[in-house]
Amino acid sequence: MNSITPAAAHTGLKVGFYRHSCPQVEAIVYNSMAQSTKADDTVAPGILRMAFHDCFVRVRDRLDLQHPSQLDRVAELALRRLFRLCGFFSGCDASVLLEGPNTERRARTNTGLHGFDAIDAAKRAVENACPGVVSAADVLQFAARDAVVLAGGYGWHVPAGRRDGTVSIMEEALNLPAPSMTVSQLIDVFGRKGLSPSQMVVLSGAHTIGKAPCVTFDDRVQTTPVDPTLAPSFATFLKGQCPYAAIQSTSVDMDSTAHTFDSQYFKDIIAGRGLLTSDQSLLYDSRTSGGVYANNGAAFYRNFAKAMVKMSQIEVLTGLDGEIRRQFDQVNSH
Protein backbone atom coordinates (compact mmCIF):
# COMPACT_ATOMS: atom_id res chain seq x y z
CA MET A 1 0.00 0.00 0.00
CA ASN A 2 1.37 3.42 -0.95
CA SER A 3 1.13 5.79 1.99
CA ILE A 4 1.88 9.42 2.80
CA THR A 5 3.49 10.57 6.03
CA PRO A 6 2.23 13.96 7.27
CA ALA A 7 4.86 16.67 7.60
CA ALA A 8 3.46 17.80 10.92
CA ALA A 9 0.46 16.99 13.07
CA HIS A 10 -1.94 19.13 15.06
CA THR A 11 -0.81 19.61 18.66
CA GLY A 12 -2.09 16.62 20.60
CA LEU A 13 -2.29 14.36 17.53
CA LYS A 14 0.48 12.07 16.39
CA VAL A 15 1.05 9.12 14.10
CA GLY A 16 1.21 5.95 16.17
CA PHE A 17 -0.79 7.44 19.04
CA TYR A 18 -2.11 3.98 19.97
CA ARG A 19 1.23 2.20 19.51
CA HIS A 20 1.24 1.02 23.13
CA SER A 21 -2.40 1.26 24.21
CA CYS A 22 -3.97 -0.49 21.20
CA PRO A 23 -1.23 -1.41 18.71
CA GLN A 24 -3.50 -3.40 16.40
CA VAL A 25 -6.20 -0.74 16.03
CA GLU A 26 -5.48 0.25 12.42
CA ALA A 27 -5.37 -3.37 11.27
CA ILE A 28 -8.68 -4.02 13.05
CA VAL A 29 -10.36 -1.07 11.36
CA TYR A 30 -8.93 -1.98 7.95
CA ASN A 31 -10.10 -5.59 8.18
CA SER A 32 -13.55 -4.47 9.28
CA MET A 33 -13.76 -1.95 6.45
CA ALA A 34 -12.62 -4.59 3.95
CA GLN A 35 -15.55 -6.78 4.98
CA SER A 36 -18.01 -3.88 4.86
CA THR A 37 -16.92 -2.63 1.43
CA LYS A 38 -16.96 -6.16 0.02
CA ALA A 39 -20.56 -6.58 1.16
CA ASP A 40 -21.67 -3.11 -0.06
CA ASP A 41 -19.79 -1.10 -2.68
CA THR A 42 -21.48 2.13 -1.56
CA VAL A 43 -19.70 2.02 1.81
CA ALA A 44 -16.39 3.53 0.61
CA PRO A 45 -17.85 6.76 -0.81
CA GLY A 46 -20.29 6.89 2.09
CA ILE A 47 -17.55 6.81 4.73
CA LEU A 48 -15.43 9.34 2.86
CA ARG A 49 -18.36 11.74 2.66
CA MET A 50 -19.13 11.13 6.33
CA ALA A 51 -15.60 12.14 7.32
CA PHE A 52 -15.96 15.38 5.34
CA HIS A 53 -19.29 16.19 6.93
CA ASP A 54 -17.95 15.51 10.41
CA CYS A 55 -15.06 17.94 9.98
CA PHE A 56 -17.04 20.65 8.19
CA VAL A 57 -19.69 21.44 10.76
CA ARG A 58 -19.45 25.19 11.12
CA VAL A 59 -17.82 27.25 13.84
CA ARG A 60 -20.43 29.43 15.49
CA ASP A 61 -19.78 33.11 15.00
CA ARG A 62 -19.71 33.95 18.70
CA LEU A 63 -16.39 35.79 18.34
CA ASP A 64 -13.99 36.49 15.51
CA LEU A 65 -10.83 34.68 16.51
CA GLN A 66 -9.18 35.02 13.14
CA HIS A 67 -7.64 38.40 13.97
CA PRO A 68 -5.05 38.23 16.79
CA SER A 69 -5.26 42.00 17.28
CA GLN A 70 -8.56 41.49 19.10
CA LEU A 71 -7.06 39.26 21.79
CA ASP A 72 -3.68 38.43 23.13
CA ARG A 73 -2.61 34.87 22.38
CA VAL A 74 -3.17 33.52 25.90
CA ALA A 75 -6.71 34.84 26.07
CA GLU A 76 -7.43 33.51 22.59
CA LEU A 77 -6.29 29.99 23.49
CA ALA A 78 -8.26 30.08 26.74
CA LEU A 79 -11.41 31.17 24.93
CA ARG A 80 -10.95 28.52 22.24
CA ARG A 81 -10.71 25.84 24.93
CA LEU A 82 -13.79 27.18 26.72
CA PHE A 83 -15.74 27.31 23.46
CA ARG A 84 -14.79 23.71 22.64
CA LEU A 85 -16.00 22.55 26.05
CA CYS A 86 -19.29 24.41 25.52
CA GLY A 87 -19.77 22.96 22.05
CA PHE A 88 -19.22 26.21 20.15
CA PHE A 89 -16.48 24.65 18.03
CA SER A 90 -17.12 21.41 16.24
CA GLY A 91 -14.73 19.78 13.85
CA CYS A 92 -13.45 16.22 13.45
CA ASP A 93 -14.98 14.98 16.70
CA ALA A 94 -17.43 12.29 15.51
CA SER A 95 -20.39 14.56 16.27
CA VAL A 96 -21.91 13.50 12.94
CA LEU A 97 -22.18 9.94 14.27
CA LEU A 98 -24.34 10.81 17.29
CA GLU A 99 -27.91 9.53 17.09
CA GLY A 100 -30.86 11.60 18.25
CA PRO A 101 -33.84 13.68 17.04
CA ASN A 102 -31.99 16.99 16.67
CA THR A 103 -28.45 15.84 15.88
CA GLU A 104 -26.37 16.52 12.77
CA ARG A 105 -27.54 13.21 11.31
CA ARG A 106 -31.05 14.64 11.05
CA ALA A 107 -30.03 17.74 9.10
CA ARG A 108 -31.32 18.01 5.54
CA THR A 109 -27.74 18.17 4.25
CA ASN A 110 -26.98 14.83 5.92
CA THR A 111 -30.05 12.83 4.92
CA GLY A 112 -28.07 10.92 2.29
CA LEU A 113 -25.20 9.95 4.58
CA HIS A 114 -24.66 6.22 4.82
CA GLY A 115 -22.05 3.80 6.07
CA PHE A 116 -22.96 4.12 9.75
CA ASP A 117 -23.21 0.33 10.05
CA ALA A 118 -19.63 0.04 8.81
CA ILE A 119 -18.38 2.49 11.46
CA ASP A 120 -20.42 0.66 14.09
CA ALA A 121 -18.82 -2.64 13.09
CA ALA A 122 -15.31 -1.16 13.13
CA LYS A 123 -15.82 0.55 16.50
CA ARG A 124 -17.25 -2.63 18.05
CA ALA A 125 -14.28 -4.65 16.79
CA VAL A 126 -11.89 -2.09 18.29
CA GLU A 127 -13.78 -2.06 21.59
CA ASN A 128 -13.55 -5.85 21.79
CA ALA A 129 -9.77 -5.63 21.52
CA CYS A 130 -9.13 -2.38 23.45
CA PRO A 131 -12.13 -1.29 25.54
CA GLY A 132 -12.42 2.43 26.19
CA VAL A 133 -9.17 3.37 24.45
CA VAL A 134 -9.84 4.47 20.85
CA SER A 135 -12.24 7.29 20.04
CA ALA A 136 -14.99 7.04 17.46
CA ALA A 137 -13.45 10.15 15.87
CA ASP A 138 -10.19 8.29 15.23
CA VAL A 139 -12.04 5.20 14.01
CA LEU A 140 -13.83 7.39 11.46
CA GLN A 141 -10.58 8.93 10.20
CA PHE A 142 -8.88 5.52 9.97
CA ALA A 143 -11.92 4.21 8.10
CA ALA A 144 -11.92 7.15 5.65
CA ARG A 145 -8.29 6.42 4.80
CA ASP A 146 -9.08 2.72 4.39
CA ALA A 147 -12.07 3.51 2.16
CA VAL A 148 -9.73 5.29 -0.25
CA VAL A 149 -7.19 2.44 -0.18
CA LEU A 150 -9.84 -0.22 -0.73
CA ALA A 151 -11.15 1.75 -3.72
CA GLY A 152 -7.69 1.92 -5.30
CA GLY A 153 -6.15 5.12 -3.89
CA TYR A 154 -3.08 5.82 -1.78
CA GLY A 155 -3.16 5.53 1.97
CA TRP A 156 -1.69 7.95 4.48
CA HIS A 157 -0.47 7.84 8.06
CA VAL A 158 -3.33 9.21 10.17
CA PRO A 159 -2.28 11.40 13.11
CA ALA A 160 -4.47 10.14 15.96
CA GLY A 161 -5.42 11.11 19.49
CA ARG A 162 -8.79 12.75 18.82
CA ARG A 163 -11.41 12.69 21.51
CA ASP A 164 -15.14 12.40 20.87
CA GLY A 165 -17.47 15.36 21.09
CA THR A 166 -20.56 15.25 23.26
CA VAL A 167 -22.56 17.86 21.34
CA SER A 168 -24.31 17.40 17.99
CA ILE A 169 -26.75 20.06 16.80
CA MET A 170 -28.80 19.71 13.64
CA GLU A 171 -28.62 23.42 12.75
CA GLU A 172 -24.82 23.32 12.91
CA ALA A 173 -24.75 21.09 9.79
CA LEU A 174 -26.42 23.64 7.53
CA ASN A 175 -23.22 25.34 6.36
CA LEU A 176 -21.72 22.31 4.63
CA PRO A 177 -20.46 22.75 1.05
CA ALA A 178 -23.39 22.40 -1.35
CA PRO A 179 -23.41 20.98 -4.90
CA SER A 180 -24.70 24.25 -6.39
CA MET A 181 -22.04 26.46 -4.79
CA THR A 182 -19.91 28.80 -6.87
CA VAL A 183 -16.13 28.74 -6.65
CA SER A 184 -16.14 31.88 -4.52
CA GLN A 185 -18.56 30.27 -2.07
CA LEU A 186 -16.47 27.09 -1.93
CA ILE A 187 -13.26 29.03 -1.33
CA ASP A 188 -14.98 30.88 1.52
CA VAL A 189 -16.36 27.71 3.17
CA PHE A 190 -13.07 25.84 2.91
CA GLY A 191 -11.10 28.91 3.93
CA ARG A 192 -13.08 29.17 7.15
CA LYS A 193 -11.73 25.73 7.98
CA GLY A 194 -8.15 26.75 7.22
CA LEU A 195 -8.00 25.05 3.82
CA SER A 196 -6.56 26.76 0.75
CA PRO A 197 -8.18 26.93 -2.71
CA SER A 198 -5.70 24.31 -3.97
CA GLN A 199 -6.62 21.99 -1.09
CA MET A 200 -10.29 22.60 -1.82
CA VAL A 201 -9.78 21.50 -5.43
CA VAL A 202 -7.95 18.31 -4.52
CA LEU A 203 -10.47 17.42 -1.79
CA SER A 204 -13.25 17.86 -4.34
CA GLY A 205 -11.62 14.88 -6.02
CA ALA A 206 -13.36 12.71 -3.43
CA HIS A 207 -16.17 12.82 -5.98
CA THR A 208 -14.19 10.29 -7.99
CA ILE A 209 -16.17 7.57 -6.20
CA GLY A 210 -19.88 7.31 -5.53
CA LYS A 211 -23.13 8.62 -6.96
CA ALA A 212 -25.26 11.74 -6.68
CA PRO A 213 -29.07 11.96 -6.89
CA CYS A 214 -30.59 13.79 -9.85
CA VAL A 215 -31.87 16.59 -7.65
CA THR A 216 -28.30 17.70 -6.89
CA PHE A 217 -27.70 18.80 -10.48
CA ASP A 218 -31.19 20.04 -11.42
CA ASP A 219 -29.65 23.49 -11.76
CA ARG A 220 -27.66 22.20 -14.75
CA VAL A 221 -30.08 20.02 -16.71
CA GLN A 222 -33.60 21.09 -15.71
CA THR A 223 -33.18 24.48 -17.35
CA THR A 224 -33.75 25.92 -20.80
CA PRO A 225 -31.21 25.77 -22.25
CA VAL A 226 -29.18 23.28 -20.21
CA ASP A 227 -25.93 24.44 -18.65
CA PRO A 228 -23.73 25.34 -21.64
CA THR A 229 -20.59 24.09 -19.86
CA LEU A 230 -21.93 20.52 -20.14
CA ALA A 231 -20.56 18.48 -23.03
CA PRO A 232 -23.59 17.96 -25.34
CA SER A 233 -23.44 14.16 -25.20
CA PHE A 234 -23.20 14.26 -21.39
CA ALA A 235 -26.14 16.66 -21.16
CA THR A 236 -28.21 14.26 -23.29
CA PHE A 237 -27.22 11.35 -21.06
CA LEU A 238 -28.15 13.22 -17.88
CA LYS A 239 -31.51 14.30 -19.30
CA GLY A 240 -32.20 10.66 -20.09
CA GLN A 241 -31.37 9.59 -16.54
CA CYS A 242 -33.20 12.52 -14.95
CA PRO A 243 -36.09 13.53 -17.26
CA TYR A 244 -37.75 15.94 -14.81
CA ALA A 245 -36.85 18.00 -11.75
CA ALA A 246 -36.55 17.00 -8.09
CA ILE A 247 -35.86 13.28 -8.62
CA GLN A 248 -34.24 11.86 -5.51
CA SER A 249 -34.72 8.15 -6.19
CA THR A 250 -32.34 8.00 -9.17
CA SER A 251 -28.59 8.57 -8.81
CA VAL A 252 -25.83 9.02 -11.38
CA ASP A 253 -22.15 8.11 -11.11
CA MET A 254 -20.01 11.03 -9.95
CA ASP A 255 -17.42 10.26 -12.62
CA SER A 256 -16.99 7.69 -15.38
CA THR A 257 -15.01 5.29 -13.12
CA ALA A 258 -17.14 5.77 -10.02
CA HIS A 259 -16.08 2.55 -8.26
CA THR A 260 -12.35 3.33 -8.48
CA PHE A 261 -10.47 6.03 -6.62
CA ASP A 262 -8.49 7.69 -9.42
CA SER A 263 -7.98 11.03 -11.18
CA GLN A 264 -10.81 10.47 -13.67
CA TYR A 265 -12.87 13.10 -11.87
CA PHE A 266 -10.50 15.81 -13.13
CA LYS A 267 -10.29 14.33 -16.61
CA ASP A 268 -14.09 14.43 -16.78
CA ILE A 269 -14.19 18.07 -15.69
CA ILE A 270 -11.72 19.00 -18.43
CA ALA A 271 -13.96 17.17 -20.92
CA GLY A 272 -17.10 19.04 -19.76
CA ARG A 273 -18.39 16.00 -17.89
CA GLY A 274 -18.25 17.31 -14.32
CA LEU A 275 -21.52 16.30 -12.68
CA LEU A 276 -22.22 19.09 -10.20
CA THR A 277 -22.01 22.84 -10.55
CA SER A 278 -19.42 22.81 -7.78
CA ASP A 279 -17.36 20.35 -9.86
CA GLN A 280 -17.46 21.87 -13.34
CA SER A 281 -17.06 25.45 -12.09
CA LEU A 282 -13.55 24.63 -10.87
CA LEU A 283 -12.37 24.64 -14.49
CA TYR A 284 -13.56 28.16 -15.26
CA ASP A 285 -12.15 30.13 -12.35
CA SER A 286 -8.53 31.27 -12.46
CA ARG A 287 -8.12 30.50 -8.76
CA THR A 288 -8.92 26.81 -9.26
CA SER A 289 -8.40 25.88 -12.90
CA GLY A 290 -4.69 25.24 -12.38
CA GLY A 291 -5.53 22.74 -9.66
CA VAL A 292 -7.84 20.84 -12.00
CA TYR A 293 -5.02 20.34 -14.50
CA ALA A 294 -2.41 19.69 -11.77
CA ASN A 295 -4.46 16.79 -10.38
CA ASN A 296 -5.23 15.31 -13.78
CA GLY A 297 -2.87 12.38 -13.21
CA ALA A 298 -0.73 10.57 -10.66
CA ALA A 299 -0.08 13.68 -8.54
CA PHE A 300 -3.70 13.56 -7.37
CA TYR A 301 -3.14 10.54 -5.11
CA ARG A 302 -0.43 12.18 -3.03
CA ASN A 303 -2.09 15.58 -3.04
CA PHE A 304 -5.35 14.08 -1.81
CA ALA A 305 -3.64 12.16 0.98
CA LYS A 306 -1.87 15.29 2.22
CA ALA A 307 -5.07 17.34 2.08
CA MET A 308 -6.98 14.68 4.01
CA VAL A 309 -4.38 14.79 6.78
CA LYS A 310 -4.83 18.58 6.96
CA MET A 311 -8.61 18.34 6.98
CA SER A 312 -8.61 15.64 9.67
CA GLN A 313 -7.01 18.09 12.11
CA ILE A 314 -9.81 20.69 11.98
CA GLU A 315 -10.96 21.77 15.47
CA VAL A 316 -10.17 18.41 17.08
CA LEU A 317 -10.61 17.62 20.75
CA THR A 318 -7.51 16.22 22.48
CA GLY A 319 -6.10 15.66 25.94
CA LEU A 320 -8.89 15.76 28.51
CA ASP A 321 -11.46 17.44 26.26
CA GLY A 322 -14.44 15.37 25.14
CA GLU A 323 -14.54 11.65 25.88
CA ILE A 324 -13.81 8.21 24.46
CA ARG A 325 -17.23 6.87 23.47
CA ARG A 326 -17.94 3.26 24.24
CA GLN A 327 -20.60 3.17 21.53
CA PHE A 328 -20.00 4.99 18.26
CA ASP A 329 -23.34 6.83 18.14
CA GLN A 330 -24.04 7.52 21.82
CA VAL A 331 -22.53 9.82 24.42
CA ASN A 332 -21.32 7.86 27.45
CA SER A 333 -23.74 7.71 30.37
CA HIS A 334 -21.26 8.15 33.20
- Cβ-Cβ contacts under 8 Å for 264 (sequence gap 6 or more): 208, 255, 256, 257
Active-site choice (10, 20, 53, 114):
53
CA torsion sign, 200 to 201 to 203 to 206? positive
Neighbours of 117 (CB within 10 A): 13
First to last CA, the chain: 40
Whether 47 and 40 have beta carbons less than 8 Å apart is answered as no
> Residue 93: left if φ>0, alpha if ψ -120 to 50, beta else—which one?
alpha
What's the rounded Cα separation, in Å, for the pair 181 and 254?
16
Alpha carbon separation from 101 to 169, 236, 318 (Å, rounded): 10, 41, 27
Three-state DSSP class for 323?
strand
Full DSSP string of 66-122: S-GGGS-HHHHHHHHHHHHHHTS--SSSSGGG--STTSGGGSGGGTT---HHHHHHH
**53 has catalytic annotation:** yes
What's the rounded Cα separation, in Å, for the pair 331 and 315?
19
Burial of 70 by CB count in 10 Å (0-12 exposed, 13-18 middle, 19+ buried)?
Answer: exposed
What's the rounded Cα separation, in Å, for the pair 152 and 249?
28
Three-state DSSP class for 14?
strand
What's the rounded Cα separation, in Å, for the pair 262 and 152?
7
Q: Which residues are catalytic?
A: 53
